[in-house]
Structure 1
C-alpha cells in the first residue's frame, strides 16, 4: 500500500511539473509570428497591398467593399483582397478552411447560399474594377469561435498579408442605434489583435455605404481623415491614409494633436516627426493632403476638436495605441468600454459621443519578443521600427 501511494504521488508530481514546463516552453502563438515586415508603413508606394477582409455575414459586405474602394486600387499600386467568410461551427468538430469555388452558374445569378451572396458582391466589384489593380481571392472558414482567430492568422501568414480587416462586433441599425453586441465576434477580434502576424484594422461601421460616400463616376470625392496622437499604431493609420491619397481624387486631412509642453526628443517622437514631414511636404506641393495641428491639454480639448471636425469627413482613421499614460488622455481612459478599439477609437464608436462617421481603428504589426530581427530594424516596446530604408520593401 505504501509503495502504491509513493508511485501515485510520484506520477502526480512529475505530471504536474511537466505540465508547467510545457506551458513555459510551448507557445502556440509563435507559429503566427512573421519574420518579415507586414505593415502598410513599410510597404513601397507601388507595392501590392494584400488585405485579408473578414466577413461574418452579409451585413458586413457593403462597408468592407466601400472601404476597399476608398483605398483606391490602381495598376501602379494594386490591391489583392483575400476575403474570408467566417461561419461558426458548433461542437468539437475539426475546423475547415478552404478556397471558395464559384458555381458553374454566372456569378450574378440568384443563389441560395449566404456565402454565394457574399462573394457575388466581391466578384461584381472585381469585374467593375478589373482594369484598376483590384483582385479577389475568396475563402470559407467553418470553425468554432474559440479557434477562429487561428484560421485567420494562419491564412494571413501563408498569404503574406499586410492588413487584416475585422468588423466591429456591433452593427448599426436603420434607426441609427447599434444592435446588441455579439461577444463571440468581440472575442475573435481581440484574439486576432493579439496574435496577428501583420497589421489589423477594426472597422466600426456608422453607415459606410457607397451611395453615401462616392461612386467612381459621380464626381464625388471621398474625404478620409487621420487623427494622429503619435506612436506606431498612429503611424500605420497615417500610412494607410497616405496610400488612399495616392489617388488625386481623394482628399486626406491629417489632424495632429499635441500638448503645448510635449517633448520631441524621444525615439517615438522622432519617428513621428519623420513621417509627418512627408505629410507636410505633400501639403506644400498643392496636393489634396491637408495637415493641421491642434494644441490641446487634456481629454476635454480632444473631444472638443473631434466633435467640431468629424462630421466633415467620410471616414476616420486612428491608431489603437495604448495611451493610458499620455497626459492628453486625462479623463478619457475612465470611460473606455471596448479595449480592442483603444481610448480614442472607443470614443469615436460610441453613440453617446454623437459620432456618425465610420471609423477604422488600426494596430500596426507587433513582434513577439525574442525573435531575430533584420539588421535595419529594432524594437521599440512591442513594435518593430525601421532604422533605415530597405530597398526590398517586402520579401
Structure 2
C-alpha cells in the first residue's frame, strides 16, 4: 500500500475477528483485502499458519519494508505481482510503472528467493477448496540455480493431492545445432561444470520420484536452436501454471534472452507472458544467492534509470506545484 504524504513506514498486523477472518473497515473492499481473505480461507481449510500484514510506505523505499520483513520472519520466498496486467482483449497494460521499480529493487536486495507472479488465474472455477482441485503445473527446465529452485517448488506443490506437475527439460543437441548455439553452449559448459553436475543430480532424483509418483511426470525435449525451443514450448502451453527460472543456463537460454523486454521475468517468463495464446499464469523464480543475485548488476542500472524517470515525472506533474 502506497503512502503519499510521508516517508515513514507503518506496519500493522490485522486484527482477527472471533470467526478467524481479518478485521476490515466497512465499505468496498480493495483487491488487497480480497487477497488476504483468500489466504485466511486457505488457512482455515489447509491448517497452515497465515499472518496478514499491511505495509504503508512510499514507493521509493517500499522494497525496504518487504526485504526487512522477509528477513525478520526468515521467509524462504517473496512473491511479487507483475507490474503489468491483462486487459479484456488479452493485451498487456502498464498502469503503475513505479511498481516495476519496487520489484527490481526487491530482486536486487532480497534476503531470500523471489517469485514474480504473472496472474492469469488458474482457469475454470478458481474458488478455494481444500480437496476438490485438479491443476496441472508445468516446470520448464533448462538448467541453472534458478531453474533448480523452480523445480524444487514445483515438486513441493506436487505433494498436494489435487495437483499434477510435469517437468519438461530442454537439452541442446550440439551436433545438429548451429555454430552460434554451440559457441554459447561450450562457453557456459566450461565455466559452470559444478552447476551442470547439480542439474544432473537433481534430474536423476526427479526421474526416481516420477517412477513412483503418478502426480509427477518428466519429459525431455532435444532442440537445435531457439526456434525449435519456441515451437516446443507452444506445444505444452495448456496448463494452469508455469514455473520457470529467471535466468536459465545454456546456449538457447542466452539466445532467447536477446528478445526479452522484461528482464525481471527472464527469457522464458517473458516469452510466456508476451504470448497472447498462453492462458496459464506464470511464476518466475530467482534463487537467493548471498551478495550475488542473478540480476543484481543489470537491475542496479535499470533501477537508477527508473528512479530518474519517476523523479522527472513527479517534477512535471501539476500536483507537485
Give TM-score, length-normalised by structure 2.
Answer: 0.78
- Is 1:252 matched up with 2:165? yes
Residues 18-167 of structure 1: pairs in structure 2 closer than 5 A: 87-102=1-16, 107=21, 111-112=26-27, 114=30, 116-127=33-44, 129=45, 132-167=46-81
Of 244, 249, 260, the match for 1:318:
244
Tell me, in whole angstroms, the C-alpha distance in 1 between the residues paired with 2:48 and 2:11. 23
1:361 maps to 2:284? yes
Find the counterpart in structure 1 of residue 102 from structure 2.
188
Q: CA deviation at 1:216?
A: 3.9
Give, in whole Å, the separation in 1 of the partners of 2:163 and 2:77.
21
**CA RMSD after TM alignment:** 2.9
Which protein has the larger Cα radius of gyration, Structure 1 or Structure 2? 1
| 1:134 CA displacement | 1.8
Question: Greater share of helix residues, 1 or 2?
Answer: 2
Find out whether 1:327 has 2:244 as its counterpart. Answer: no
Name stretches of at least 5 consecutive residues in structure 1 with no aligned partner: 1-86, 370-378, 383-395
Q: Does 1:204 align with 2:142?
A: no
Q: SS in structure 2 opposite 1:367?
A: coil
The unaligned stretches of length 5 or more in structure 2 are 175-184, 297-321
Once the two structures are superposed, what CA deviation does each residue of 1:328-387 show, in whole Å capped at 9, x if it has no partner?
A: 1465223211110111111111045x3221100000012116xxxxxxxxx9999xxxxx
**SS, match of residue 159 in structure 2:** coil
3-state SS of paired residue (1:267) = helix
Q: 1:301 aligns with which of 221, 224, 228?
A: 228
Which of 259, 265, 270 is equivalent to 1:341? 265
Between 1:160-169 and 1:95-104, the stretch displaced more is 95-104
SS in 1 for 2:50: strand
Instruction: Give how far 1:182 is off.
Output: 2.0
SS at match of 1:136: coil
| Compared CA separation, residues 302 and 244, structure 1 to 2 (3 A) | same
> Is the 1:214–1:221 contact (alpha carbons within 8 Å) kept by the matching residues of 2?
no
Describe the SS at the equivalent of 1:303: helix
CA distance in 2, matches of 1:223, 1:166: 22
Cα offset, 1:295, TM superposition: 0.7
Check conservation: 1:153, 1:192, Cα contact below 8 A. Answer: yes
Name the SS of the counterpart of 2:117 in structure 1. Answer: strand
Following superposition, the deviation at residue 301 of structure 1 comes to 1.2
**Contact map agreement 1:213 1:221 (CA 8 A) in 2:** no
Does the C-alpha gap of structure 1 residues 100 and 210 become closer, same or farther in structure 2, counting only changes over 3 Å? farther
Query: How much has 1:283 moved relative to structure 2?
Result: 1.5
The 3-state SS of whatever aligns with 2:210 is helix
Tell me if the contact between 1:207 and 1:357 (Cα under 8 Å) persists in the aligned partners. yes
Q: Could you state the TM-score of these two structures normalised by the residue count of structure 1?
A: 0.64
